[in-house]
Amino acid sequence: MNGYFPTTCLASFLIVGGCSLEPTYQQPDAPIDQQWPANAAAGCCSSKQTFDQDWRGFITDDRLRQLVDLALKNNRGLRQFAASVEESRASYAGASANLFPTIGIDTYAGRSKIPPLVRTQGGGDSSGAIANTFQGTAGFTSYELDFFGRVRAQKHAAGARFEASEADYQTARLALIGEVASTWLSLKANLNLQALAKNTYDTQNKYGQLLRSSYNLGSTARIDVHQGDAMTNTAAVQVNTYNMQVAQNLNALRVLVGQPVPDALLPTGELGKELATADVPAGLPASLVARRPDIMAAEALLRASNADIGAARAAYFPTFSLTGALGTLSGTFSNLLSSPAQFWSIALAGSVPLFDGGARRAQVDASHARFDERTAAYEGTVQSAFRETADALNARSEMITQVDFQKKLVTDYQEAYRQSRLRFEAGLDSYFSTMDAQRSLFSAQQQWLTLELAREVNQVNLYKALGGGWTPPGAGADLAAKVALRSP
| Neighbour-count burial of 31, counting CB atoms closer than 10 A to its CB (0-12 exposed, 13-18 middle, 19+ buried) | exposed
* 166 vs 434, more confident: 166
pLDDT above 50 for 51: no
pLDDT in tens, 112-159: 777 765 555 555 555 667 777 777 788 878 888 888 888 899 999 999
pLDDT at 272 (0 to 100): 82
pLDDT above 90 for 78: yes
Region 48-59: what's the mean pLDDT?
A: 65
Domain boundaries in the chain?
A: 20-102+150-317+359-465
At the topology level of CATH, where does 20-102+150-317+359-465 sit?
Answer: Outer membrane efflux proteins (OEP) (1.20.1600)
pLDDT above 80 for 191: yes
pLDDT above 60 for 353: yes
Q: With left for phi above 0 and alpha for psi between -120 and 50, is residue 131 left, alpha or beta?
A: beta
Helix (H) or strand (E) holding 369: helix 359-425
* 160 vs 390, more confident: 160
Separation of alpha carbons 213 and 394, rounded Å: 54
CB-based contacts of 109, cutoff 8 Å, min separation 6: 133, 134, 135, 333
DSSP classification of residue 110: E
Most confident of 185-194, 309-318, 415-424, 426-435: 185-194
Q: For 18-32, 368-382, 451-465, which range has the lowest pLDDT when averaged over its residues? A: 18-32
Q: Is 238 helix (H, G, I), strand (E, B) or coil?
A: helix
pLDDT in tens, 276-307: 888 766 555 566 677 789 989 999 999 999 99
pLDDT in tens, 241-253: 999 999 999 999 9
Separation of alpha carbons 25 and 209, rounded Å: 79
Q: How confident is the model at residue 470 (pLDDT cuts 50, 70, 90)?
A: very low
CB atoms within 10 A of CB 439: 17
Q: How confident is the model at residue 44 (pLDDT cuts 50, 70, 90)?
A: very low
The answer to whether 70 and 177 are in contact (CB under 8 A) is no
Separation of alpha carbons 458 and 275, rounded Å: 12
pLDDT above 80 for 8: no
The answer to whether 163 and 296 are in contact (CB under 8 A) is yes
| Rg (alpha carbons) of the chain, rounded to whole number | 38
Angle at 432 between CA 430 and CA 437, to 5 degrees: 105
pLDDT in tens, 357-408: 888 889 899 999 999 999 999 989 888 888 888 888 888 878 888 989 999 9
Q: What sign has the CA pseudo-torsion 425, 427, 431, 434?
A: negative
pLDDT at 49 (0 to 100): 39
pLDDT above 50 for 215: yes
pLDDT, the chain, mean: 80
CB atoms within 10 A of CB 53: 15
Backbone angles phi, psi at 39, to 5 degrees: -70, -25
Q: Is 327 helix (H, G, I), strand (E, B) or coil?
A: strand
